[in-house]
Amino acid sequence: MIDLQRIEKENYQLREGERTQDFLNPMLQFIGDPQPELRDELIYPTLYKWIYEEDRFTETELSTLLAILTD
Residue 37 lies inside a defined structural domain of this protein:
yes
The domain containing residue 58 runs over which residues? 2-8+22-70
The predicted pLDDT at position 71 comes to: 83
Tallying the residues shown for the chain, one arrives at 71
Main-chain phi, psi angles of 34, to 5 degrees: -70, -10
pLDDT tens-digit readout, 13-70: 999 999 999 999 999 999 999 999 999 999 999 999 999 999 999 999 999 999 998 9
Q: Check residue 28 and give its pLDDT.
A: 94
What total of structural domains would you count in the chain? 1
pLDDT at 2 over 90: yes
Cα angle 45-9-59, degrees, rounded to a multiple of 5: 40
pLDDT for residue 40:
95
In this structure, is residue 13 part of a structural domain? no
